[in-house]
Structure 1
């Protein structure tokens, strides 16, 4: 029987845990206090510059305003208000056209204050924001109920080498590395790569996004892939990027691909 995501120390990306999303399970353990450096130089809120709370770079008001997802479709994470989270919670679109992702979990909706934080992280090299977003993701995914299957490895959605040289860092890797460490899961880098330097998805319509990513990913033939992996990315809009990556992994023999994302565009 598949295990569940390890919850021991899962909230310890850096300091204490954020407030959890309504209706999610909690680990029930009190995390240790913040490190000495965080005590000597207290965190500042990355949204309003107020004093950080609970060891986070968020003040209490901004932490309370986080748009945790709550109930969503298990296949695409689209919010389903009033639904009960579980393996049978599937939206109509995914019932008619099942995506290649077995499960998709989003920590939050793409709304305030994340709609200010995510662009800073993705386009302006604000790695402090990335650390905070990884904390939120670790907290959300460590709180998945017992019985949810645990992946054997974490794979970040990669950038093309030219885009990586321009940006100087891979935002998905910056999320996946501390997330894998917090949840005690292996991190596979280099197994999945961009085969083509595609146009930015944010500039394209939904149908264009799918065509843009056709055969966009390749698998390193020298990497042994486990049967169950989870893809990590920052934002999911149509899901075209994650679906193209999942298709490539399944063609390479991976039996099950899930996705963990920071924010879902509703």
Structure 2
């Protein structure tokens, strides 16, 4: 009788506590992160500019966009997805509703896409920082959570505090293109000498690239030899 009750208790426990797909709530394996059905429906970003990850037509003759042909802001860039559902929902859930397990899933998905492109290993991986006031309001930095998972998966060195945000700027999504550029101008500072180092920046979403571009300029001013940017989604 005792064994019977124990077996049933384990069945109930596994049913209630088994890992679930964050999108459809289907039970999944502990390491799966997301179910196969939902994975197949994700808005993977295929053809993209090698320097800024802006989407390109699949038949485009070049893998460099017109802007980067003239003046690339980064030495390398990679985005895993278009900023569409359900990725947009997962990022929003992480940033605004503290669905922290989403960071692990998003980090894993980004790591898979980066690994497929076989980039050189950076000297340091740094998340786009939040201003201390914004960090206190949110309680965490979503870019840092994603970067931590990315570093774990790829074996890259993570430096959480390589940069600091100097101003508590308005959210970029509330501004037009000109406002976004002014909003992040001189908004960052490096906390260490980056002379000769290859830096990789991590963010959740890149839209105009103004934030990552401002941080890249900051890294180069501190001596960085190259700056790559990796983001979950490209809007």
TM-score scaled by structure 2?
0.88
Counterpart of 1:213 in structure 2 is 184
Give the whole-Å Cα distance in 1 for the aligned partners of 2:60 and 2:68: 17
1:62 correspondence with 2:62: no
Supply the distance in 2 between the matched residues of 1:198 and 1:54 (Cα, whole angstroms): 39
Alignment-derived partner of residue 103 in structure 1: 76
Partner Cα distance (1:47, 1:139) in 2 = 19
Match of 1:75 among 35, 48, 51: 51
CA deviation map 1:187-214 (0-9, x unaligned): 1121200011111111001111001111
| Cα separation, 2, equivalents of 1:227 and 1:207 | 31
Give the gaps of 5 or more residues in structure 1: 1-37
Partner Cα separation in structure 1 for residue 69 and residue 37 of structure 2: 38
The number of residue pairs the alignment matches comes to 223
Question: Equivalent of 1:227, from 186, 190, 197?
Answer: 197
8 Å CA contact 2:111, 2:150 repeated in 1: yes
The residue that corresponds to 2:163 in the other structure is 192
Structure 1 SS opposite 2:64: coil
Q: 1:127/1:154 Cα in 2 relative to 1: closer, same or farther (>3 Å)?
A: same
Q: Give distance in 1, aligned partners of 2:228 and 2:99.
A: 27
For 1:176-197, what per-residue CA distance to the aligned partner results, in whole angstroms no more than 9, with x for missing partners?
A: 1121121111111212000111
* Alpha carbons 1:72, 1:83 under 8 Å: kept: no
The Cα offsets for residues 136-159 of structure 1, whole Å up to 9 and x where unpaired, read as 0111111114xx332111011000
Contact 2:19–2:30 (CA<8 Å) still a contact in 1?
Answer: no
Instruction: State the shift of 1:224 in Å.
Output: 5.1
| 2:86 pairs with one of 113, 120, 129 | 113
Match of 1:123 in 2: 96
Bigger-Rg structure (1/2):
2
Q: Give the superposed CA RMSD.
A: 2.3
Taking the aligned partners of 1:248 and 1:200, their CA distance within structure 2 comes to: 20
The answer to whether the 8 Å contact 1:156/1:232 transfers is: yes
Greater relative contact order (CA < 8 Å, ≥ 6 in sequence): 1
- Would the aligned equivalents of 2:52 and 2:73 in 1 still touch at CA under 8 Å? no
SS in 2 for 1:106: strand
Aligned to 1:236: 206
Q: Distance in 1 between matches of 2:60 and 2:175?
A: 33
1:42 matched to which residue of 2? 18
Output the CA distance in 2 between the equivalents of 1:187 and 1:217: 18
Structure 2: segments with no counterpart, 5+ residues: 1-13
2: CA distance between counterparts of 1:121 and 1:164? 14
**d(CA) in 2 for partners of 1:72 and 1:138?**
17
Contact 1:152/1:228, CA 8 A, preserved across alignment: yes
Cα distance between partner residues in 2 of 1:163 and 1:70: 33
| Greater percentage in helix | 2
Mapped to 2, the partners of 1:178 and 1:225 lie a distance apart of 26
8 Å CA contact 1:53, 1:60 repeated in 2: no
